[in-house]
Amino acid sequence: MPIKYILVNGMEQPSQPIYDPYTYRKEIATLGYWDGLVHLVNCILGGGILSGPYGFKRVGWVVGLLVSAIVMMLIVYSFRLLVKCINEICRRRRVPYMQFGKAMMECVIEGPSWMQRYKKSASIYVSSFLVIFHFGVGIMYIELATESVKDIIIYWLGYIDYKLVMLFLAPFLIAITMIKKLKSLVPVSVVSNITVLISIAMIAYYMIADTTRPFSELLMFNELTYIPLYIGLVLLSNSSLGVLLAIEAEMKDPARYLGPFGCLNVGMSLLYVLFALFSMCGYWCYGDITFFYVIDNIPEEEVVPNVSKIFHALAIFFTYPLQIYPVVSIIWTHRMAALFPPEAQPIFETSFRVMIVAITMFASLTIPHFDIIISLISSVCLCVLGISLPGIMDMCLRYPNNYGPCHIAQVRDIFLICFGVTACLAGIVNAGVSIYYRYTGEVRV
């Protein structure tokens, strides 16, 4: 194989034969196209869609459609850039795969000398906030599932204690958490996708059947000053960065994950269509009285919201193991497992997984208003991790003078950094407003 030349600190130098990380991932590559798509839809199609109608009410339906499309395209673009940066640093270091935190550290090493002193801090920041976020999502999912089951039991049978419901769910959560491979979780994600789609379809059908408002009454443009907060709402409704990276790492054919009709593009397109249609239906039905969660507009005595809660609870339950997968991967697989002899690893891994379920359950019982807290955590870490850091990684890998004509790549990277920070601040403001409404008892309208 002929010797290739690569850029090292801005100068062409002879390299070894080009290394392709994908060629050496055969041991962990187990997911086919449909497996990856099922997991991707499962991790991005969450409860955030219920806030879509409220967002349309605040900014207007035309602005809502345009902004959500732009934001979702930006999410896809940033993630593609992130994957390319990780693969490029893997190629330079001649390793099959790096976790996000490790890749961030190695990219910083490739950058300017003043940044290199922060290489360990960058790695710790990325890994820590990925763990904190997905741990938080696990806590929130347990809280939502328990609350939904409790509401269902109260509606059909009568009073039941919240702690008793959680105790009932515990063995089932532990059992489903014992599924260790993404490939084995595919049937679980299929069930989750079906149940969440049924839940959304039931609510949408109820809203459409109840709509008597002329479409002409809907505002095309409304509070344009709310756009930054609306961007934060869209970002937080479909962000699951750790799971997206894990899926990409285990694809048999990574080109089918990031290709034009790959899992990422198809999954995000499906999410946009569902988000747009559901948001339009909710806004059309309730107009100016649309609440932050549109399901709150439906009277509690109606059968539809209570039946939809059954499917919603099932969807959340079956998504739980996928959301804590990055936690297990970062803490156990890449750190703690090496501390134990191979023959003892299975029993310690089982104990670790049980401990995760126990901690998330305990936290959901003891931490008040955790939905707002996870929104705040998401704003601080995901907007920066998913949008700003890919820009920083790309700038470091292109340093010092490989930014293209007119430094176009550098301009793009700076835009991503600024956009991520702005979305982060918008999310923090949104969380602060939510805290205000929660403690004052006012309804957010």
Q: Residue 436: its pLDDT value, please?
A: 77
Q: In terms of pTM, does the model score above 0.75? A: yes
Of residues 134, 136, 108, the one with CA closest to residue 121 = 108
Rounded to the nearest 5°, which phi and psi values hold at 421? -65, -40
Q: Residue 402: its pLDDT value, please?
A: 85
Run of H or E including 82 = helix 61-93
Of residues 127, 122, 125, 128, the one with CA closest to residue 107 = 122
Q: Residue 236: its pLDDT value, please?
A: 65
- Does residue 91 fall inside a structural domain? yes
Peptide bond into 400 cis (omega under 30): yes
At 108, which amino acid appears?
Answer: V
- Does residue 14 fall inside a structural domain? no
- Does residue 128 fall inside a structural domain? yes
Of residues 386, 377, 388, the one with CA closest to residue 75 = 386
- Does residue 383 fall inside a structural domain? no
**DSSP per-residue codes, 401-420:** T-S-GGGHHHHHHHHHHHHH
Q: Residue 310: its pLDDT value, please?
A: 84
- Does residue 425 fall inside a structural domain? no
- CA–CA separation, 417 and 438 (whole Å): 32
- Does residue 101 fall inside a structural domain? yes
Q: CATH number of the domain at 105, please.
A: 1.10.4160.10
- Does residue 440 fall inside a structural domain? no
The mean pLDDT values, 10 residues at a time, for the chain of 445 residues are 42 61 76 91 78 88 92 90 92 90 93 89 89 84 82 80 87 91 91 89 83 84 80 72 88 85 90 90 87 76 78 86 90 87 90 92 79 70 86 91 87 92 81 74 59
Look up the domain containing 115 and give its range: 31-369
At 77, which amino acid appears?
Answer: Y
- Number of domains making up the chain: 1
- Does residue 399 fall inside a structural domain? no
Report the greatest alpha carbon distance in the chain.
75
- CA–CA separation, 80 and 86 (whole Å): 10
Contacts (Cβ under 8 Å, ≥6 apart) of 416 = 78, 81, 387, 388, 390, 391
Q: Residue 133: its pLDDT value, please?
A: 84
User: First CA to last CA across the chain, in angstroms?
Assistant: 65
- CA–CA separation, 24 and 312 (whole Å): 40
Q: Compute the radius of gyration of the chain from its Cα atoms.
A: 23
